[in-house]
A and B are shown apart, each in its own frame.
Chain A
């Protein structure tokens, strides 16, 4: 998540105090990614070092106002214009876990898939409840922004469930079901030739 670009985008709308940036960032994203004020100030000082923002004036309590520089404005425009590369995202733990599950003996891959699917659907239910409780038409811009973030989480959860469905059918075709010890009958029930034919 780019806090840096999020803050720059807010500053592109006009100069702001640090605490203002934090509040506006959270409003825009529906408090999905809560920031602490320390993160805001450390990000601002890096932006200042890179000459993307400058400090101007201070209020009575010594708090600075930050203003975006032309270089910062160019950076924001570039950010909006550039798609996010898949590789920029952190490693997907779930994909790693499933890959490990397939290669580790004694792990019931279907069960790993199902456990995750139930959890993903619960998350999807929570998001959908939030959506159902909100008015159908967003009340203002902040609400619209929050709804877009919410929809993005819904789509991601949905994609994850679809991917799990795919994994399950793929694994069912490629691997024999994990038989509890001593039940050869389950193996005998396999559709003929599914595993043998591959060898």
Chain B
């Protein structure tokens, strides 16, 4: 089942002579358990694709469906509820709130979603454990290294079993070893059933994905074939 399905999605900016097709007729599907990377030169529409997939922006035309729900057909309130419940974001700039501890940062999206503090704290503990920084729960962002902060940011993106993880250059300024740890975490999350869409310009990180999609001038120009799953194997057997 596809967690994210984008069909003929276009996004224009400006009008008349200044009209820019940031994204043109892009169709893309990310299934449960699948890790898809998007590569392309700057200005190719990578980040636009990600913001549309997460419902942070609305397409000029086309359809974005997350977990079976058509984002375009939803009211704003329902859309942001779906966003909080189903979608996790990992950005290059970690955006951890400096006045909150690691645990509180991870709890925040769940509390916003109406989960009681005690349960949110338990969930945050599990999420921090999953990314290997359970012992840092009480620390503030400025008391952690860049790699530790990124782990906390990932825990925040994964807390509460979000099934769609959107990552924009998630390894940012991290050294290659820590960057690889981040990839291992995202990979593990997908292997456990989540769907992940990641934008990156680093081929060594894109290579952790099952499928790499190449964007140029707002269009998909090529892709590596996905990892054969049971369905494709069955199709090939026929």
Q: State whether the Cβ of B187 lies closer than 8 Å to any Cβ in chain A.
A: yes
Given contacts A121-B224, A122-B224, A132-B184, contact A114 B207 (CB under 8 A): no
> CA separation between A114 and B187, bound complex, in Å?
26
Query: Taking CB as reference atom, which chain B residue is nearest A125?
Result: B207
Given contacts A128-B207, A132-B208, A158-B203, contact A165 B221 (CB under 8 A): no
Q: Does A118 lie within 8 Å of B207, measured CB to CB?
A: no
Contacts of B214 in A (CB 8 A): 114, 117-118
| Residues from 156 to 183 in A contacting B, C-beta threshold 8 Å | 157-158, 161-162, 165, 168-169
Q: State whether the Cβ of B209 lies closer than 8 Å to any Cβ in chain A.
A: yes
Task: Provide the main secondary structure of the chain B interface.
Answer: mixed
Given contacts A117-B214, A118-B214, A118-B223, contact A157 B203 (CB under 8 A): yes
Given contacts A118-B214, A165-B41, A168-B41, contact A127 B203 (CB under 8 A): no
Residue-wise interface mask of B (90-111) relative to A, using a CB-CB cutoff of 8 A (1 in contact, 0 not): 0000000000000000000000
Q: Does A121 lie within 8 Å of B41, measured CB to CB?
A: no
Contacts of B187 in A (CB 8 A): 132
Contacts of B87 in A (CB 8 A): none
Least CB distance from A18 to B in Å reads 38
Interface size on A, residues (CB 8 A): 22
> CA separation between A157 and B209, bound complex, in Å?
16
Q: State whether the Cβ of B65 lies closer than 8 Å to any Cβ in chain A.
A: no
Query: Taking CB as reference atom, which chain B residue is nearest A119?
Result: B224
Given contacts A118-B214, A165-B41, contact A124 B221 (CB under 8 A): no
Interface size on B, residues (CB 8 A): 19
| Residues from 178 to 217 in B contacting A, C-beta threshold 8 Å | 184, 187, 201-204, 206-209, 212, 214
> CA separation between A147 and B209, bound complex, in Å?
20
Q: State whether the Cβ of B236 lies closer than 8 Å to any Cβ in chain A.
A: no
Contacts of B225 in A (CB 8 A): 122
Given contacts A132-B184, A154-B204, A158-B203, contact A125 B41 (CB under 8 A): no
Least CB distance from B214 to A in Å reads 7
> CA separation between A116 and B52, bound complex, in Å?
29
| 11 sample A-B contacts, Cβ–Cβ < 8 Å, listed by A number | A114-B221, A117-B222, A118-B214, A121-B39, A121-B224, A122-B224, A122-B225, A125-B209, A128-B208, A132-B187, A169-B41
